[in-house]
Amino acid sequence: MTRRVLVINPNSSELITAMIASSARNALPDDEIEVLRMTDSPEGINTRADEEVAIKAMLDHKVAGRLDDFDAIVIACFGDPGVPELQAHTTRPVVGIARNTLEYAASTHGGFAIVAASVDAEEIMRNLVDTYDLTDHCRSVISVGIDAASLARGGRDHLPAITSRIRDLITALDNGVESVVLGCTALAPLAEDLEAELGIPILDPVNSAVRSIVS
C-alpha cells in the first residue's frame, strides 16, 4: 500500500526545500511524498529565535488541519522545531529528523559526531543531545561556520572545506567517531561524496528519518 508522507521544511528556502524533497523521495521512491516550505520563515534556521519564528509559521500555515490526511509527518529541520506542537494536532506520528537520526546513529554505529552549519547552531545541537539523553554516544558537535542558506547556495563548492573539517575532527578524536550526522539539511546532497572520501557512515537525516517510517 502506498504511504502518504508530509515533509515540512520549516524554513523558506526554495533551494533547501528541493534538497529535502530529493532526500525524502530517494528514501521512499514508491510512496507519495508531499513537501511544504514555510514562506513566512527565515531562509535558514540557525538560532533559537529562528526556530520560534518557524514554529509560528508552521502553526499559521493552515497545515494543522491536514495532518490526519497523511500516514506520517516529518519535520525536516535538525533542531526538531514544532514536533510537539504539531503532534498535538494529529494522531499520526510526527517525526523530528534530529532525534530520529541521532538515536539511529547511537544504536547502529555507537559514537557519533554532529556537523552543524553555523556556529550559532552548535548550541542547539548540544542541547538536543542532552535532551535526548545521548551524551554517552556524542563525541563532538562542530560547525562548518557557514549558515544554512549560504550552504545551499554554494552547493558542492563547499565540499573540499567540509571534507577537511570532518577529517580533522575524526583525526583529533583518534577514531572515536564511528559515524557523522549532518546537522543541516543543506548538507544532505554532500553525504555520499563525504562518505566515499572519509570512509565512515555519513548520515543524511532527512533520508534516515523518512526511511524509518517503514521500519
Distance CA 11, CA 148 (A): 10
Segment 157-204, tens digit of pLDDT: 989 989 998 888 888 766 678 999 999 999 999 999 999 999 999 999
Buried b / exposed e across 184-210, counting CB within 10 Å, b at 16+?
bbbbbbbbeebbebbebbbbbbbbbbb
Predicted TM-score (pTM) of this structure? 0.92
pLDDT mean across residues, the chain = 92
- The confidence score (pLDDT) of residue 175 equals 61
- Confidence band (pLDDT; 50, 70, 90) for 206? very high
Distances in whole angstroms, Cα of residue 152 to Cα of each of 20, 39, 85, 127, 157: 11, 17, 27, 24, 10
Planar angle of CA 174, 116, 149, nearest 5 degrees: 150
